[in-house]
Structure 1
Amino acid sequence: MTPALLETFPPFHPEVRLQPPAIERWRHGPGSEVEFVHVLESGLPGPTAMVVALTHGNELCGAIALDTLLRQDVRPLRGRLLLAFANVEAFGRFNALEPFLSRCVDEDMNRLWDDAVLRGTRDSVELRRARELAPFVDAADVLLDLHSMQEAGAPALTICGMTDKSVPLARALGQPATLLVDTGHAAGLRMIDRGGFADPRSERQAVLVECGSHWEPASADMALDVTLRFLRHLAMVDASWVEPRLRVPAPEQQRLVRVGEGVTAVTPAFRFLVPTQHLKVIPDAGTPLAEDGDRRWVTPHDECVLIMPSRRAGLSGQTMVRLGRYET
C-alpha cells in the first residue's frame, strides 16, 4: 500500500461501540405479510410515512432507532406509518470483528431502485428483498432512510436527492446541520431517487440521513432524534411525547452543499493524492485530488467540499467522493 493510501484509508478494524439490536421479535408486524415491515394505521386521514433502517446491513443506528420506537409502542395519530428493516439477511451476518463485511450479501441494496432493475431478470439477495419492499416504498408520501458513514467522527448530513424538492423537508426537521443535493451514483438508483421522490411534478418527498460514523453511539442518538423530528413534523406523534426523547441539540443553522460532480473509481488502483476528510474544504481550484490509472481528478473550483470520501479501496463504479460547494 502506498503512503498516500496509508494516509487516506484507516485501519480495517474500527472499534464497534454499538450492539446490534435483537430485531427477531419484529419479524412479523401488523398490517403486512412481508417480514420485518410494520404497517401502523391511525384510522384517520393523513400522509403515508415510511422510515427505513438497515438498507445496509452493518449500519446499526437506524435499526436501534426503529427498535426503540417499536418497544415504546409508537402509534401514528394520523395517516399511516410504515417501519421497515430492509437488508435483514446482511444484518444477520454482522460480526463486530469484521464489521464492513455485512454491508450487503451480494450487492448494494441502495443501487437497485430503478424499475428496469427491479423488474429485470437478474437475481440477488438484495434484489429479492428490494422487490418485497418496493410496494411499500411506492406507497409512501414521505420517506426517511437511515444510514451511517465509514469515517470516524464524521458529522451527520441529510441527502435530499438529486433535486431541491426534498430540501424543505430536510430544513423542517432542523437536524442535522448539513444538507446535500447531489448527482446520485453511477452504479444505480437510490431509494430516495425512485419514482415520484425525484419527480418535480410530484409532492412526494424523501431524504436519506447519514447519522454519523458507523458503530459510534452518537449515530444511534442522531438516528432516533431525526426520526422523532420526522414524525413530529408530520404531526404523526404529539410534540409533548417527542420533546423529552430528543437527545441531540439542534444546530443553530443548516447549510446546504450542492454537489457538482462525483468521483467514481474505474479500477481497484484508484487512490487519493491528498488526505481526505468528510466535509473538508480544499481552498484552491486545480488541487490534485485523486488518480486511477491514466485518469486524474483535480478540485473543480475554489472552496471545494469533499463529501463522504470512501475509506476503502475502490471498485469499478464505486463513488469514491463527491465534490460540492456550500450555499446558504
Structure 2
Amino acid sequence: MPDLRPWRAGNQLPGVWSFPGPAPGPHVALACLVHGNEIAGALLLARWLREGLRPLRGTLTFIFANLAAFDRFDPADPTLSRFVDEDMNRVWDERVLHGSRQSEEIARARMLRPLLDEVDVLLDLHSMLWPSDPLIITGSAPQARALGPKLGTPSLAVADQGHSTGRRMIDSAAFTAPGSRRTALLVEGGAHWEPATLETLEACATALLREYGLLPPAPRSTPTGRLAEVTRTVVAGTHGFAFVQDFRGGTIIPRRNTLLALDGEQEIRTPHDDCLLVMPSPRTLRGHTAVRLARFV
C-alpha cells in the first residue's frame, strides 16, 4: 500500500503536486487513483515524489485523483474502494461538471477541472480487474491516436469512442475540444496489485516524459507500438450476458462471425477477421460495456 500521508496536502490543490523545470516546455500531468483501488499508479507517483523527481523543462504535475475512495481501501475486499458514490472516470462531461448533480467524485472532478485546462499532456494511470494484456487507450482525438503507439510501451494502443455511461478524464473538453492540440492518454498497466503492473506504468510514464523532454532521452529507442481501432462496443442488454469461454483481453479472434457471447437470446459475434478483444469483462451489468471489438490500423 502506498503511504500518501506526506503527499495529501499538495502544493497546488489537495493531492496535487506541480514542479516547474529550469527551461520552458510543455505541462505534463500524471494522474493516478481515479479509481481508489488501483494503487499501482499511486505507488509510482509517491516514490517519484520521495525521490525528488523534477523535470528538465516545462512543468510536471502529479495528481492523486480520488483520495476519498482510496481512504476506503481494504485489502480484504479491495474492489469496494473503486469509488465512493460513482465511477470518477464517467463524470467528465461539461454538462455534469457544470450541472446540479452532486457526488464525492463530481465534487473532486470540479476541483481538478481548471487544472486540466493548464495541462498540455495527460497520462492517466490505471490497472485492470480481469486478465488482459497491458494497453494504452487513446480515445478518438487524432493527436492522442498518434502519440499512443509512439510511446511503444505498452506495445498496443487502442482508439475508441469512450463509454455510453459517461465521459472519462481523457475525453474531457480540456483535451478533445475541436482544434485542441493538447493530448490525453490512459494506460492500463495490467492486473490490480501485481508487481509487473507497476513496472509497466513506470515504463509508460517514463517514455512519455522522455518524449516531451522532461527527462533525458532513452539510451536506445523503443519500437513503435501497434494501433487498433474499436469497431464495435458491446454493451450488455440483459443481466444474463455471458461469454462462451474465458476470453483474455488482447486475444485476437482470427475469423469473422465467431461466437463470443450470449446476451439473453442475442448472439454476439466477431464483426470481422482478426478481431481484437479489448478488456472483456466476464461479469457485466446491464447497460455497461462488456467488451470492445477492434481491428488493427
Is residue 234 of structure 2 the alignment partner of residue 255 of structure 1?
no
Alpha carbons of 1:252 and 1:84: their partners in 2 closer, same or farther (altered >3 Å)? same
Aligned ranges for residues 1-328 of structure 1 at < 5 Å?
A: 20-30=1-11, 32=12, 34-42=13-21, 44-152=23-131, 154-199=132-177, 201-239=179-217, 252-311=223-282, 313-327=283-297
CA distance in 2, matches of 1:123, 1:286: 44
CA distance in 2, matches of 1:316, 1:108: 16
Structure 2, unpaired ranges of 5+: none
The secondary structure found in structure 1 opposite 2:73 is coil
CA–CA distance in 1 between the matches of 2:279 and 2:222?
20
Q: Distance in 2 between matches of 1:250 and 1:276?
A: 33
Identify if the C-alpha distance between structure 1 residues 289 and 171 changes in structure 2 by more than 3 Å, giving closer, same or farther.
Answer: closer
Larger displacement relative to structure 2 (164-173 or 182-191): 164-173
Q: Is the 8 A contact 1:183 1:261 kept in 2?
A: no
TM-score (structure 2 length as normaliser): 0.94
Amino acid at match of 2:191: S
Q: Provide the rounded CA distance (Å) in 2 between the counterparts of 1:88 and 1:23.
A: 9
- Does the CA contact (< 8 Å) of 2:253 and 2:275 recur in 1? yes
Q: 2:149, 2:156 within 8 Å by CA — same for their partners in 1? A: no
- CA, structure 1 residues 97+109, in 2 after alignment: closer, same or farther (shift >3 Å)? same
Offset at 1:278? Answer: 0.5
Structure 1 pair 127–218 and aligned structure 2 pair: CA distance change class (3 A) = same
Find the residue that maps to 1:113 and give its secondary structure.
coil
Structure 1 residues 42, 253: closer, same or farther in 2, change over 3 A? closer
8 Å contact from structure 2 (residues 149, 224) kept in 1: no
Q: C-alpha separation between the residues in 2 aligned to 1:295 and 1:186? A: 20
Give the Cα separation in 2 of the matches to 1:179 and 1:200: 22
Q: In the alignment, residue 39 of structure 2 is paired with which amino acid?
A: L
Q: Deviations over 1:122-180 (max 9, x none)?
A: 1111111111111112221110000011224x321111112332133223322111011
- 1:296 Cα deviation from its structure 2 partner: 3.2
Deviation at 1:200, TM superposition (A): 5.2
Given that 1:196 and 1:203 are in contact with CA atoms closer than 8 Å, whether structure 2 keeps it comes out as no
2:117 counterpart SS class: helix
Identity %: 43
Number of matched pairs = 297
**RMSD of the alignment, in Å?**
1.9
Paired with 2:201 and 2:274, the residues of 1 have a C-alpha distance of 29
DSSP 3-state at the match of 1:167: helix
Give the Cα separation in 2 of the matches to 1:84 and 1:217.
21
Q: Deviations over 1:222-242 (max 9, x none)?
A: 111211221121111234xx7
Letter in 1 for 2:237: V
- In 2, the alpha carbon distance for the partners of 1:123 and 1:220 equals 33
Instruction: Decide whether the 8 Å contact of 1:50 with 1:144 is kept in 2.
Output: yes
**Per-residue deviation, 1:251:** 6.2
1:294 offset after TM fit, Å? 4.2
TM-score (norm 1): 0.85
Matched residue SS, 2:143 = coil
Alignment partners' CA distance in 1, 2:221 and 2:230 = 24
Report the alpha carbon displacement of residue 250 of structure 1 after superposing the two structures with TM: 7.9
Unaligned runs of 5+ residues in structure 1 are 1-19, 244-248
